[in-house]
């Protein structure tokens, strides 16, 4: 599709971008809005072991990983809109189960179901962009989507804190239902089906296996999955430690939602900047530069902390720069890597989006878990972990093929 044209006669390009940003933001809202609720959930449902409350976050990611494996292939067979609606129903059902749960186990079951449902809108957003755009223009559109998407994680902890103040932690799940109902209704009434029947693939095991083999036969896809996994590990590892670092290490737990909002909004500038630069400089060059900057920042922080050069307010300022820089670079890298890998797979956009998202998420969580457990009350474990993850991604980038036209 040519630049500047609307993706559908019924919807303008700005509205299209905003709609896909809302679908994508379902995941961020479902995770970040829960952060302020964890202490209250721990006191009510697991007072003997407060750390178990963190399972509220990981159970959602687990469900999302499971749902991601099937959401794309289902959308390739039944169309994009049907899968968004199925996902919305599962998401809302899971939220209501968690809302009514009287034990941690019941709430976790609801969160897993929520995650399964959230996988549909998340994957469909990526597949829909590939249905309509390709190449650098696709990367540009995804950058705009991610720019608007950033507003949600910036505001989510603040929103969660306000809901808790008025309704308690259970009210957050009602907010999740309302958010999804708005997104699904907007999608269903404003955007036409982007995958015509003649381009659909039957939802049969043989077809799924064949499609998966074709997707994974591309060396570009293989390397992109590894790079995305390393970046998601950096992201998940940082999120798992960020609130304890604010509260325990720097004594700023009460103001955490405001600091988090500032960090997220600044990081959102990465998508805007990428949208301006990607058409001119290309996706691969920008990925390489962003990874190099991420590695240099993490290594610098580790060296300064090891030498105890900064303390007090200066150390907190360094921490803010570090965390903001990590989020900024992840936003710069992920959209471009997705666009690079999806370029030769327009006929398998749903399958490709599912496989890449599912595998990178599962692998990323596997790396992020020990990084989160390494927290010792200081920033050092996180700085060293990000240094290693960035270095590994930069090495993988060297082997990224220059052309995505054929399997390697």
Q: Report the percentage of the chain scoring pLDDT > 70.
A: 88
Q: Which residues pair with 8 in a beta bridge?
A: 11
Listed in order, strand segments (DSSP E) in 256-360 are: none
H or E element: which one contains 37? none
Q: Residue 100: which pLDDT band, with cuts at 50, 70 and 90? A: very high
pLDDT at 388: 94
State pLDDT tens for residues 240-261: 788 778 877 888 878 888 888 8
pTM of the model: 0.73
Mean pLDDT highest for which of 46-55, 99-108, 198-207, 345-354? 99-108
Start-to-end C-alpha separation, the chain? 27
Nearest-Å Rg of the Cα atoms of the chain is: 20
- Count of beta carbons in the 10 Å neighbourhood of residue 13: 15
Q: How many residues does the chain have?
A: 408
Query: What CATH architecture does domain 10-192 belong to?
Result: Up-down Bundle (1.20)
pLDDT at 5: 47
Q: Residue 3: which pLDDT band, with cuts at 50, 70 and 90? A: very low
CATH number for the region 204-400 comes to: 1.20.1250.20
387 contacts 238 by C-beta, under 8 angstroms: no
In the chain, list all ranges with CATH 1.20.1250.20: 10-192, 204-400
Instruction: Report the distance separating Cα 92 and Cα 344, nearest Å.
Output: 35
Given a cut of 60, is residue 405 above it in pLDDT?
A: no
For the chain, give the mean pLDDT.
Answer: 82
Q: Residue 1: which pLDDT band, with cuts at 50, 70 and 90? A: very low
């Amino acid at each position: 599709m040519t630049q500047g044209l609307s993706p559908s006669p019924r919807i303008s390009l700005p509205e299209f971008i905003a709609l896909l940003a809302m679908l994508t933001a379902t995941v961020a809202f479902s995770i970040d809005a829960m952060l302020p609720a964890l202490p209250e959930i721990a006191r009510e449902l697991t007072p003997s072991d407060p750390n178990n409350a963190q399972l509220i976050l990981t159970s959602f990611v687990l469900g999302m990983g499971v749902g991601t494996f099937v959401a794309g292939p289902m959308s390739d067979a039944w169309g994009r809109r049907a899968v968004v609606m199925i996902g919305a129903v599962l998401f809302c059902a899971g939220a209501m189960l968690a809302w009514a749960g009287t034990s941690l186990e019941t709430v976790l079951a609801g969160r897993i179901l929520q995650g399964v449902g959230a996988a549909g809108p998340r994957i469909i957003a990526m597949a829909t962009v590939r249905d309509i755009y390709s190449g650098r223009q696709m990367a540009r559109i995804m950058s705009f989507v991610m720019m608007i998407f950033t507003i949600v994680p910036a505001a989510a902890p603040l929103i969660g804190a306000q809901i808790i103040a008025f309704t308690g932690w259970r009210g957050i799940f009602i907010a999740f239902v309302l958010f999804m109902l708005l997104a699904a209704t907007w999608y269903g009434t404003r955007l036409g089906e982007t995958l015509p029947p003649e381009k659909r693939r039957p939802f049969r095991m043989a077809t799924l296996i064949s499609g998966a083999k074709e997707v994974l036969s591309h060396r570009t896809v293989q390397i992109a999955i590894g790079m995305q996994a390393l970046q998601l590990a950096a992201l998940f590892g940082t999120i798992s430690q960020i609130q304890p670092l604010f509260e325990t290490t720097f004594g700023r737990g009460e103001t955490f939602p405001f600091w988090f909002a500032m960090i997220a909004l600044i990081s959102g500038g990465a998508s805007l900047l990428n949208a301006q630069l990607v058409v001119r400089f290309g996706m691969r060059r920008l990925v390489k530069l962003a990874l190099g900057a991420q590695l240099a920042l993490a290594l610098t922080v580790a060296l300064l902390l090891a030498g105890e050069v900064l303390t007090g307010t200066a150390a907190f300022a360094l921490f803010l720069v570090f965390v903001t820089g990590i989020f900024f670079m992840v936003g710069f890298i992920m959209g471009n890597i997705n666009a690079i890998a999806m370029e030769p797979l327009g006929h398998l956009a749903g399958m490709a989006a599912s496989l890449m998202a599912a595998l990178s998420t599962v692998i990323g969580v596997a790396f992020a878990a020990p990084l989160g457990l390494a927290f010792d009350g200081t920033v050092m474990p996180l700085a060293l972990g990000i240094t290693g993850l960035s270095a590994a991604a930069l090495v993988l980038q060297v082997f990224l093929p220059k052309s995505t036209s054929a399997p390697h």
